[in-house]
Amino acid sequence: MAKIARCGIIGLPEEGNNQHRGTLGDPSAWFPCLIQDFSSKGFQIMCATEFEIGDILELKCELYPERFLQCKVEVRHVADMCLGTKIVEISDAELTLCRQFIDEHVSLKRFG
């Protein structure tokens, strides 16, 4: 199994078993990504595609079977393949789903 470099973040164990696959892009093009850190305000994302600070992108990720998080994020910082993003558009239902996911993982001590 190939190892994937991790973004320089605090919160997830080094095993990386809490990383989630997703897609990042806009209606014209979608790119695979790996979400490495979750919060109700933004995400740390690894993506092989280059983006610029200020880009507004759509993020899609299946948090639970058949339950998807979909929101718009703004790229706030870039370091190699790692993007720091801020949520700029999310529905109330999506925000509730994201918070539920984070709360469950914190209670299971999967996140810091």
Domain coverage including residue 44: 20-107
Question: pLDDT tens digits, residue range 31-73?
Answer: 999 998 888 899 999 999 999 999 999 999 999 999 999 999 9
The angle at the Cα of 32, spanning 29 to 36, to the nearest 5 degrees, equals 135
Instruction: With a cut of 50, say whether residue 5 has pLDDT above it.
Output: no
**Residue 82 within a domain:** yes
**Residue 12 within a domain:** no
**Residue 14 within a domain:** no
In the chain, how many domains are there?
A: 1
pTM: 0.79
**Residue 42 within a domain:** yes
**Residue 7 within a domain:** no
The pLDDT-based confidence of 105 (bands split at 50, 70, 90) is confident
CATH number for the domain harbouring residue 87: 2.40.10.220
Confidence at residue 34, expressed as pLDDT on a 0 to 100 scale:
95
**Residue 11 within a domain:** no
Question: pLDDT tens digits, residue range 6-32?
Answer: 454 433 333 334 688 999 998 889 999
